[in-house]
Amino acid sequence: MAPDDHGTPPALPPPTLVVDADGCPVKNEVYRVGRRYGLKVILVANTQLGGPPIEGVERVVVRSGLDTADDWIAEHVGSRDIVVTADIPLASRCVAAGARALSPRGRVFTPDDVGDALATRDLLTSLREGGVMTGGPPPFTPRDRSKFLQKLDELVQAALRAG
């Protein structure tokens, strides 16, 4: 961005909170943080999301199909945005685009560790496909919700400071 006549660079747009919304257990927390900081929230899903309209929240319904919501998010995410997703391949794509990615359990995906997370996910998928019982994720707890809120707040503040 070019500086103005006084040599001051123009302010960057605020980050957007983008949510991989199908089955996301922390949408209400994202709404609260979005309101607190005056940020736009975009929910992306394969199905119509219920509930009344919420100020500052845009709902995007993509066509049904494998990874169509993920593709929409990866194509529209910006380098200042924060993506909430439990989908590690999507988190990897968003981090590669310069965005911040956060799981509903509060795990922040970074360029330094998203590759390891993706490799672990692929290994577990391969084991399951081979008949090995690897179990599913543990139940979502209030502690997970609290960690998510803390990490989301930290990511938002970091994104705002970066601008």
Whether 150 maps to a domain, the answer reads yes
Whether 3 maps to a domain, the answer reads no
The tens place of each residue's pLDDT in the chain, 163 residues long, gives 555 566 666 667 889 999 999 889 999 999 999 999 999 999 999 998 887 889 999 999 999 888 899 999 999 999 999 999 999 899 999 999 999 999 999 999 987 886 565 655 555 566 667 777 767 778 999 999 999 999 999 999 999 998 6
Whether 100 maps to a domain, the answer reads yes
Tell me, what's the pLDDT at 137? 76
Tell me, what's the pLDDT at 125? 61
Map tokens 């993706």 to a residue. 118
Whether 1 maps to a domain, the answer reads no
Map tokens 């399951």 to a residue. 128
Whether 6 maps to a domain, the answer reads no
Domain carrying residue 104: 17-162
Tell me, what's the pLDDT at 34? 97
Number of structural domains (the chain) is: 1
The CATH code of the domain that includes 144 is 3.40.50
Which residues are CB-neighbours of 145 under 8 A, at least 6 positions away?
Answer: 25, 26, 29
Whether 2 maps to a domain, the answer reads no
Closest of 114, 112, 104 to residue 147, by C-alpha: 104
